[in-house]
């Protein structure tokens, strides 16, 4: 009999509820900004349990480090100066874009610097640190990273694919009328490249050439047999943005033809969220190791007086990086300051997420744009231990019920709206690892999906409870 039952189950297929599984990448939230007046941020999670954070300081005169056991903890961690610019000669000006890496048992910091007699003679340099804790390590200068030309070069980053270590950076080709291209080469050791560098990307699209013709700040993340390299483009004002290169990890990465370049930027200024000029990013991972985290800088205003390089107010920010069904990264939009948003997948339709479409709330797969399916869980508008779910791309708009249908609408300041947009956060009715949201002003009614539309309804069956259970991602 047991065999017959099992066979019948296989023929019928699993019920929707049986398909549910706790997401591999559960929600993580942070509060932005992480650090004021810190540009070109790089956060490295080490095997010792610490995150190490370095960035450009607005004085352009030193290299600083912080460490903490959490990303949020970096915001209040002690900052230590590990190196200061030279008083004369090379490495004496424009100390820019440090990155910290741990390679073969030693610490390395890559950075760019000008010279006291020519502050624009920007070149790439390396520090080597000996000691378990880089904040107290002994640092020595390994000198300049020599490339094919003695020309403006900066933003060195290093990564390993299939056991091969590479260096990527930005440099000006003296024969071309632009600012910088993105280059790639193998490394002989942590401060020396080997072989002939290959040019991966040149600023040619309109969004790469606003103010200046710039490709710079490469950063690499790998997933699913693919190598993704983000980079920054255009002037360092509100036009600054991210582009994306991608290649198969099994391809010859030193063949530029094996890389594909995005035709449009993947991360740009957003007036609705008040974020301008997002760029010069790096990638790290969440504390539980289950989420990829985008690290970047931007400003909280669009208009800058004078040269953007003299404006000190770029600040370090983080937010979760999501992945599309096709395996490519989805950067979304630079989210508003404060707590970062979450996504909510259906318990019984795991590929479908809460989202708004023409302001009506529903569940749907392959949501585009991503921000339609991101909500900030904030203190409830009605108070009393409630929460409200604020739209990411329409700040000030909240999920609220109206005639028991759920919509995304702007807070009109009324008590009725506050009540309709407030919910009690409960353990998931079908899985306590999930979450369910009970209406504040209609006890016993929960947000649930019905024919893929979100409603606020009373629940009586197991299917009802499954429809009212979501996982935060």
The DSSP bridge partners found for residue 455 are 405, 448
Report whether 470 contacts 428 (CB < 8 A): yes
Spell out the residues 6+ positions from residue 324 whose beta carbon is closer than 8 angstroms to its own.
330, 366
Q: Is there a catalytic annotation at residue 287? A: no
- The dihedral through the CA atoms of 69, 74, 77, 82 has a sign that is positive
- Provide the token pair at 149: 């030309």
Name the active-site residue from 99, 155, 216, 420.
Answer: 216
What Rg value do the Cα atoms of the chain yield, rounded? Answer: 25
One-letter-per-residue 3-state SS of 133-197: CCCCCEEEEEEECCCCCCCCEEEEEEEEECCEEEEEEEECCCCCCCCEEEEEEEEEECCEEEEEE
Report whether 464 contacts 448 (CB < 8 A): yes
Distance (Å) of CA 361 to CA 13, 223, 397, 400, 414 = 29, 31, 12, 9, 21
Name the active-site residue from 40, 99, 364, 467.
Answer: 40
- Provide the token pair at 238: 């509100």
Q: Residue 168: is the preceding peptide bond cis (ω within 30°)?
A: no
- Provide the token pair at 48: 């010792």
Burial track 24-36 (b if 16+ CB lie within 10 A, e otherwise): ebebbbbebbbbe
Q: Which residues are catalytic?
A: 40, 216
């Amino acid at each position: 009999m047991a065999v017959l039952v099992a066979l019948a189950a296989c023929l019928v297929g699993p019920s929707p509820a049986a398909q549910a599984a706790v997401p591999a990448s559960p929600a993580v939230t942070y509060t932005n900004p992480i650090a004021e007046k810190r540009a070109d941020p790089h956060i490295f999670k080490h095997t010792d349990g610490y995150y190490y954070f370095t960035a450009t300081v607005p004085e352009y005169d030193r290299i600083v480090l912080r460490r903490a056991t959490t990303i949020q903890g970096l915001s209040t961690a002690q900052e230590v100066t590990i190196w200061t610019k030279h008083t004369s000669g090379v490495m004496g000006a424009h100390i820019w874009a440090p990155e910290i890496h741990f390679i073969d048992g030693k610490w390395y910091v890559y950075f760019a610097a000008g010279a006291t007699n020519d502050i624009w003679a920007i070149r790439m340099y390396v520090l080597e640190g000996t000691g378990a804790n880089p904040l107290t390590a002994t640092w020595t200068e390994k000198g300049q990273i020599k490339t094919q030309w003695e020309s403006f070069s900066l933003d060195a980053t290093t990564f390993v694919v299939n056991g091969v270590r590479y260096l990527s950076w930005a440099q000006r080709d003296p024969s071309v009328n632009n600012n910088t291209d993105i280059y790639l080469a193998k490394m002989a050791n942590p401060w020396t490249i080997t072989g002939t560098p290959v040019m991966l990307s040149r600023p040619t699209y309109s969004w790469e050439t606003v103010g200046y013709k710039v490709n710079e700040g490469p950063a690499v993340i790998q997933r699913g047999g693919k190598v993704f390299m983000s980079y920054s483009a255009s002037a360092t004002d509100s036009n600054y943005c991210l582009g994306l290169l991608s290649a198969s990890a099994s391809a010859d990465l030193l063949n530029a033809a094996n890389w594909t370049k995005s035709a449009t930027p993947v991360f740009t200024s957003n007036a609705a969220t008040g974020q301008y000029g997002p760029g010069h990013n790096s990638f790290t991972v969440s504390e539980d190791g289950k989420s990829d985290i985008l690290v970047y800088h931007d400003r909280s205003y669009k208009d800058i007086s004078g040269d953007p390089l003299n404006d000190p107010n770029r600040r370090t920010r983080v937010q979760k990086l999501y992945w599309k069904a096709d395996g490519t990264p989805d950067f979304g939009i630079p989210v508003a300051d404060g707590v970062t948003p979450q996504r909510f997948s259906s318990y019984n339709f795991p590929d479908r997420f809460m989202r708004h479409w023409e302001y009506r709330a529903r569940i749907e797969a392959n949501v585009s744009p991503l921000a339609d399916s991101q909500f900030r869980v904030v203190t409830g508008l009605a108070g009393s231990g409630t929460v409200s779910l604020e739209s990411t791309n329409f700040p000030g708009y909240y999920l609220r019920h109206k005639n028991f249908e759920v919509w995304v609408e702007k807070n009109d300041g009324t008590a009725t709206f506050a009540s309709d947009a407030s919910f009690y956060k409960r353990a998931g009715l079908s899985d306590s690892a999930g979450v369910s949201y009970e209406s504040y002003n209609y006890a016993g009614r929960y947000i649930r999906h019905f024919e893929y539309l979100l409603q606020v309804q009373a629940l009586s069956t197991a299917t009802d409870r499954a429809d009212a259970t979501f996982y935060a991602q």
